[in-house]
Amino acid sequence: MRAPFAAIAASLSLALVACSPAGEQGGAAGAPASAELAPEFTLQDLEGRTVRLSDFRGKAVVIDFWATWCPPCLFQVPELNAFWKKHRDAGDVVVLGIAVDVEGAPVVAPWVAEQGVEYTIAIGDEGLARRFGAQGFPTLALVAPDGRLDSLHVGLVEVAQLEELVAPLRAAAGAAPQGAAGAAPQGAVGAPPRG
């Protein structure tokens, strides 16, 4: 009986801490971000399409900074998959995973397929994650519809907590004028079917 308990305890402890390249744990979850605009980026997703943060203006954006070498990042995937499945058709929220692996798509793509990731994955780097304020992985950065960095959350964020955090941003997205700025880029929201 001790072995299963030890395995469960080890899994839970992995889920509650964050990885960092130096092996240090990340900062506190829910750290408020500044009222400044989130850092702009232009990245490639796993299918080679361009993904720009500014393309999602008018929507709430959930960005997951993660790495294949980070065990706790594994636990964030089912939470984000569930959140994305619930909201992908509403059009007011985007879930974007940004991998920070230096090896890029050759390492990231097999991991994404193995874990069944259903939202868009783009290839970034630790420098971009640090510009957002990430101190460990996984880190969720929540971006408001106006492009402001709303908050950062280091470590596992479960669906119920994510729902609470994103609700005011989704409400703001619903109140934002719908036009070119709020339109989704062709083929950039969500992950294409993986076969």
Domain 32-175, CATH 3.40.30.10 — does that match?
A: yes
Helix axes 71-87, 2-16, angle to 10 degrees: 70
Amino acid of residue 54: S
Is residue 8 within 8 A of residue 15, CB to CB? The reply is no
Q: How confident is the model at residue 183 (pLDDT cuts 50, 70, 90)?
A: very low
Please report the pLDDT score of residue 187 as a whole number: 35
Q: Where are the domains of the chain?
A: 32-175
Which pTM was predicted? 0.78
pLDDT digits (tens, 9 = 90+) for 96-143: 999 999 999 999 999 999 999 999 999 999 999 999 999 999 999 999
Task: At 178, give phi and psi (nearest 5°).
Answer: -90, 120
